[in-house]
Amino acid sequence: MLLPALACVLIGVARAATVSSIAILPLDHHLCARLAGALDTAQLIRGRLHFSAGEVASVDWSPVKLKGDGPKETVCSTFEQARVDLRRNGTTDLVIRSSFCMKRRPSDSLYVFPAESDVLARATWQELGPLHETQIKVEHTGGSYSLNQLQDSEQTVELREVFSLNVVQVEEQALIALTAPPFEWIVVARLRGAGPLEDVCYLRRDK
């Protein structure tokens, strides 16, 4: 186990939870405890972590239909949108989730805009440049994401290459849940503007 005694506490969750354990980091014990309490109803759907336990719930996504000629195979080319205060500044954001295949698996990215943005009216299948105008994005496809709070002297834990992303509301606070094959580790993190994510919790699935 890569769980240093001073860095986190491991809580086991019984019953038929898909995700059955959680590493609680010292960043926010209260939020992590709420996530732990909701794990018995959490599910991994296409690699994305979905919560549906009262004050801990995944946001609702709606499909986006871009202008232009899109690909016939939509499994590997999708856009969705959600309205949520992801920046935690008291205003609603437009969050766009794109998914494109890498190594035959869909990999997600998030792009965050003000709610009144016209980005979806300007973006087309032939010109996706407007999506990349924002500095507030979560893009890791083809790269890696290190679980820095779980490092020891012998092994590095990383999510790699193909990423599944979702947004989870915990007591009216929006957090990002990200994971990657083989979906053993799941990171729950806060968005910090254009900077790196702030890790809140690490969840680990039973093998």
Provide the CB-side half-sphere exposure for 116 (13 A, CA).
1
Q: What pLDDT does 28 receive?
A: 67
Give the global pTM. Answer: 0.84
Residue 2 in this model has a pLDDT that exceeds 50: no
- Reported as a pLDDT band with limits 50, 70 and 90, residue 207 is low
* Mean pLDDT confidence for 175-185: 90
What would the mean pLDDT of 100-128 be, rounded to a whole number? 94
More confident residue, 60 or 4: 60
The pLDDT score that the predictor gives to residue 3 is: 31
Q: What is the pLDDT of residues 71-100, one digit of tens each?
A: 877 778 999 999 999 999 999 999 999 999
Within the chain, what is the greatest distance between any pair of CA atoms?
Answer: 54
Q: How many CB atoms lie within 10 A of CB 86?
A: 23
pLDDT of residue 206: 65
33-50 residue pLDDT tens? 788 778 778 887 877 888
Separation of first and last alpha carbons in the chain = 13
DSSP annotation of 67 = B
pLDDT digits (tens, 9 = 90+) for 123-178: 999 999 999 999 999 999 999 999 887 765 466 889 999 999 999 998 888 999 99
pLDDT score for 102:
87
Q: What pLDDT does 14 receive?
A: 29
Residue 74, pLDDT score: 73
Residue 15 has pLDDT above 60, yes or no: no
1 compared with 123, residue with greater pLDDT: 123
Strand duo 137-138 + 105-114: pairing:
antiparallel
The band of 16, judged by pLDDT with boundaries at 50, 70 and 90, is: very low
Identify whether the C-beta of residue 68 lies closer than 8 Å to the C-beta of residue 55: no
Q: What is the pLDDT of residue 142?
A: 92
pLDDT of residue 132: 93
